[in-house]
A and B are shown apart, each in its own frame.
Chain A
Amino acid sequence: MSIYYRTSQYLKKRIFFFLEKINIRSLLLQLGIFFLFGFFVSWIIHNTIINLTQLRITSGLGFLKMRAGISIPDSFIPYSEDSSYTLALISGLLNTILMSVFCIFTSSILGLTIAFSRLSQNWLLQKLCMIYVEIFRNLPPLLIILFLYFGILQEILPPVQKSLSLPFHIYINQRGIYCPALHFQKIWLWSSSIICLSGFFIIRRIKNPFNQYILLLHLMISLAFIVWLFYHDTFLELPKLETFNITGGRNISLEFLALFLSLSLYTSALISETIRTGIEGVNNSLKETGLSLGLAPGLVMRLITMPLALRIIIPPLTSQYVNLIKNTSLGIAIGYSELMRISNTVLNQTNQSLAVVIIWMGSYLSLSLIVSTVMNWLNKTTLRGHGH
């Protein structure tokens, strides 16, 4: 049999197979949907262009270089009103990230504590934590934020002249908390991030995911401690109480405080529920087996229950974290300068809605993506021995 013949047979077979697989009907359907979608999109683009020309708005990214003139009181990076829109947006993004990190950290610890308290033997502690959870998870986060900011903090905190002074040169008043500022050289920042990264790689080698989780939290605490140590031998700036003002030091604004506290309280209630259902979802007989081997209840929790519970916990926990990041955008309601507030101001000033919306989407989507990636990585280690 000639090669030619064999090839043609092969081709025939392939083509026949291909046709059979593709199915003309579904091909037509796909094309139809594609054109419908394309038509829809082009219609929207067409309308947008007409509307924009009527409103005399030129789109483009040129506006990013212009002077912003937005005041950002609690900016993380050097920023003034003369800075550009780009810098303003970056500052907002950094504030969003900062807020998210703080809230994730606090609400995780609080949630874990509450979850364990609800499983404790102490009846009073159990019920109190249950009430806490039921109160906070059934309230809108925006309400909690407004309540805390307008209803409580603004009303009970004294004005600047009558600031509450606490030990270690900390002052509390209506403008927030003033505390000694950390001024350390950039090299400490770099070295601490290197320590953090190396710690991250050490963590990867630990097998027990619960220990890993705890270690991650430990690492964050020790990092804060290291920074604090360095701050001792660099230089510190104490806040000074004057008649109408407080100068120097670091100001943690009331908006930051209100947003941070309320999101932490709200999310911790949700997280504690997630953790509790996860722990309760672990097969009881496995706990009993651990006990029958002579392991103390605490050890059973650490070695058996928690690693298995994390499998159940991590996927919903990831979405809690993503939701938390999204909820930081509620800072706009009380004027905390996070991404949403700043970009909304930018939008109002420049009318560049298209560009601003793309910046929103890009920033929040990438933040969500980062969180999911980290959590997925953590999840992979918990799924050892689970389905092969």
Chain B
Amino acid sequence: MDIKDMEEQSSYIRKNIAPSEPMLRTSRQSTYHWLYTHLFASPINALITLLLATLIIYIAKHLGKWVVLDAIWEGKDRTVCATKIQGGIQNNDWSGACWAFVKANYTQIIYGFYPPEHRWRVNLTGIIAITVNITFLMPSIPYKFINGFISLIIIPIFSWYLLHGGYLSLPLIDTQLWGGLMVTLTIAYISISISFIIGTLLALGRRSQISILRLLCILFIETLRGIPLVSILFIASIMFPLFIPHEITFDKLLRALIGIAIFTSVYIAEAIRGGLQAIPKSQYEAATSLGLKYTTIMCLIILPQAYRLVIPAIINILIGMLKETSLIYIVSMFDLLGMIRITSIQANWITPQTPATAFVTVAFVYWVLCFMMSRYAYFIEKRINLFKQPMIRSKNR
């Protein structure tokens, strides 16, 4: 075939431009097609689908029975949730969740042994913290600096004094009496603010020009990163009193709280350091060339940018911390997990079903809290990526 010949015939012009058409709903988009491609694309796939479907039905059936159908909703003590052999009223092959237990003890699970007539203080703290933080967490609301100051510094101090009392007309309520969800959230919240501040300082220290400071920060961070939180809690509860003059006594809960906060701050420091490293050097140079001082550069130019980059990472660390507050149960303090554990083994409620019910309840609370936080982190990450795109593009060029 001669190429020249082909060229002769190949002239072509399109006169009328084809318009943009809406997509036709062909067989490729039908339900059948979806089922085929997503579930039964190959024999192995079909087999997996069938096996999984059986598994799901099996689990759902049993779980549904346990959680809803066979569950006990009302009752005064253990007899409603125990079988006849165990001294209760249920048939011997009965098995179901004992929601009556949760219903009877929920105030204790939330407030611990906080005196009922003072529970308004807990509620008030919760309401204030939530209202202030909603405005802080919504990205579209300005004044983040002032908001952050209120959220991270004023609220923790305020809530500690409101909850602990001991001044004005508020009677002192010892932390021995605190417990349940309230302790979990208080520890988590106050630890966040402390660890955020210490973490920033550690991150700056690790990147500082002063070598001895840098060395100390590296040593501190790397040591704490290598040991478990349980050991830090033990140090806080056993060793800490040895370190300070014996005239000074420190609250037990506060010690655990500081332990958790310091432990978290190390991870936050690493996250912030990542953010600081991601800020291009030109930013430092530009700020220095304007004649600004180190503190000004850091507070006004570098840190705000770095924080914005590492918010998702920090929230993920905080999720981890919220999960780890449960460890104070090991040093015999009663947060949500510990409180429900001791309520579930008290004499008038102990049955074979109570522990499982109790743990499912706690799991649900933790799960909702952590899931909400991780969704928020995801939302922020998407927002940040929206801003970040042009920056990266210009860097590549």
Contacts and interface: CB of A to CB of B under 8 A. Distances in A.
B359 interface: yes
A151 B38 contact: no
A143 B363 contact: yes
Nearest to A23: B209
A139 B366 contact: yes
Given A124-B39, A138-B319, A340-B231, A34 B212 contact: yes
B242 A52 contact: yes
A146 interface: yes
Interface in B210-225: 210-213, 216, 223, 225
B252 interface: no
A138 B230 contact: no
A94 B352 CA distance: 34
Nearest to B37: A121
A21 B229 CA distance: 42
Contacts of B49: 122, 124-125
Given A33-B210, A138-B374, A365-B223, A146 B341 contact: yes
A122 B363 contact: no
Interface stretch (B146-154, B190-198, B279-287, B322-330): B322-330
B253 interface: no
B113 interface: no
B376 interface: no
B300 interface: no
Interface in A96-143: 121-125, 128, 134-135, 137-143
Contacts of A26: 209-210
Interface stretch (A42-50, A76-84, A186-194): A42-50
A241 to B, nearest CB: 24
Contacts of A344: 234
Nearest to A148: B359
Given A155-B356, A340-B230, A357-B239, A140 B210 contact: no
B378 to A, nearest CB: 12
A252 B358 CA distance: 27
Contacts of A354: 239
Contact of B226 (A30, A322, A333, A353): A322
Contact of A360 (B45, B56, B227, B359): B227
B337 A143 contact: yes
Interface in B269-299: none
A332 B223 contact: no
Size category, B interface:
35 or more
Interface string B338-377: 0001000000000011011011101100110011001000
B246 A152 contact: no
A155 B337 contact: no
Contacts of A139: 323, 363, 366-367, 370
Contacts of A147: 356, 359-360, 363
Interface of B (DSSP majority class): helix
A50 B245 contact: yes
Interface in B27-54: 37-39, 41, 45, 48-49, 52-53
Interface of A (DSSP majority class): helix
Nearest to B211: A30
A47 B246 CA distance: 8
A326 interface: yes
B213 A33 contact: yes
Contacts, number: 152
B230 A51 contact: no
Contact of A121 (B41, B210, B213, B227): B41
A150 interface: yes
A377 interface: no
A92 to B, nearest CB: 13
A125 B238 CA distance: 48
A54 interface: yes
A122 B44 CA distance: 10
Contacts of A50: 245-246
Q: Which of B52, B210, B323, B374 counts the most chain A CB atoms within 10 A? A: B323
A30 B324 contact: no
A293 interface: no
Contacts of B363: 139, 143, 147
B390 interface: no
Given A48-B242, A48-B243, A146-B359, A330 B323 contact: no
A151 B355 contact: yes
A52 B367 CA distance: 44
B212 A51 contact: no
Nearest to B244: A47
A71 B136 CA distance: 53
A166 interface: no
Contacts of B19: none
A347 interface: yes
A1 interface: no
A123 B238 contact: no
Q: Which of B225, B242, B244 counts the most chain A CB atoms within 10 A? A: B242
User: What 5 A-B pairs have minimum CB-CB distances, sorted nearest first?
Assistant: A326-B228, A138-B370, A140-B323, A123-B38, A151-B356
Interface of A: 26, 29-30, 33-34, 37, 44, 47-48, 50-52, 54, 121-125, 128, 134-135, 137-143, 146-147, 150-152, 154-155, 322, 326-327, 329-330, 332-333, 340, 344, 347, 353-354, 357, 360-361, 364-365, 368-369
27 contacts: A30-B211, A33-B216, A37-B216, A47-B242, A48-B242, A48-B243, A51-B246, A52-B242, A54-B246, A121-B37, A122-B49, A123-B38, A124-B39, A128-B52, A139-B323, A140-B326, A142-B327, A150-B341, A150-B355, A150-B359, A322-B225, A326-B228, A330-B330, A340-B231, A364-B226, A365-B226, A368-B225
Given A143-B359, A333-B329, 18 more contacts: A30-B212, A30-B213, A51-B241, A121-B37, A121-B41, A122-B38, A122-B39, A124-B49, A138-B371, A139-B323, A139-B363, A146-B341, A147-B356, A154-B355, A330-B327, A333-B330, A353-B242, A361-B223
